[in-house]
Amino acid sequence: MVPGKAFRLDAFSYAAGWRVGKDSDGALGIAGLKVQNRGDAKDIVVVKFKFYKGGRLLGSSSCIHAQDIDVGQTVTLTCISVDGFGPSHDKVTINNG
- Terminal C-alpha separation, the chain: 16
pLDDT of residue 14 exceeding 90: yes
* pLDDT, mean over the chain: 91
- The residues spanned by each domain of the chain are 7-96
Mean pLDDT of 52-67: 92
Which residues, at least 6 apart from 80, have a Cβ–Cβ distance to it below 8 Å? 61, 62, 63
For 20-53, write each residue's pLDDT tens digit.
Answer: 888 777 778 899 999 999 999 999 999 999 999 9
pLDDT for position 11: 95
The span from the CA of 37 to the CA of 51, in Å, is 25
| Whether residue 10 has pLDDT greater than 90 | yes
Give the integer Cα–Cα distance in Å for 79 and 97: 12
Q: Which of 41, 35, 42, 25 is nearest to 85 (CA)?
A: 25
Tell me the HSE value of 9 on the side-chain side, using a 13 A CA sphere: 18
Q: What is the CATH number of domain 7-96?
A: 2.60.40
Measured distance CA(38)–CA(11) in Å, rounded:
5
